[in-house]
Amino acid sequence: SDLSFLFGSKPSKTDTIPSKESSPTATPILYSPSEEEINALASNYCEQRKVISRVYPVPIKKESSGKTEYEVTDDSRKAGSSLTSGDCQTIIEYLVWMKNKAFPVADINIENIIDRKYWIGMNVAELMASVGWPSDINTTNYGAGKTEQWVYYKDSSRIDALMIYLEEGKVTSYQDF
């Protein structure tokens, strides 16, 4: 399945965020890590996943008309143990892009994502960058919307699992067995 709608191939939002004073010309404070900081974050991201077989999305960076967008498909993912330093750098650059452009009103916590943490309220893109592609997705349609249960098996016996519940693309709860 193509998940590009979650990762940047949607209409872009404006580059400004109204300040609390509602100034129409307010400019957001952009998160602008140096190349050295990005390399350090990328190295840490790879280090946290080097022995993990779970699959992580590696966004494909696309430039057009001076705009940067990212796309993630089934073909653009790799096991944590197979991630290269270049893959991890692309992932960190994508997270910085998300923080600044894609979801400027959300507080994308890159350090928590690097540490493979999950929390209520995180979006699908954050979840996949943090915990990876789920082993299974169970969907419930209850008429007015749908909920999803993302299952992350911890071992080959498929008994121990992390279950993360989403509604409208946001984590609403989780269970760790």
The radius of gyration of the chain from alpha carbons, rounded to an integer in Å, stands at 17
Strand ranges in 1-160 using DSSP code E only, listed in sequence order: 55-57, 60-64, 67-71, 77-79, 136-141, 146-153
pTM recorded for the entire structure: 0.77
> Amino acid identity, residue 121?
G
User: Average pLDDT, whole number, for the chain?
Assistant: 83
Share of the chain above pLDDT 70, in %: 81
pLDDT in tens, 6-61: 444 443 333 333 334 444 455 557 788 899 999 999 999 999 999 988 999 999 99
Q: Any idea what DSSP says for residue 14?
A: P
Is residue 141 a contact partner of residue 110, using CB atoms and an 8 Å limit? no
d(CA 83, CA 106): 27
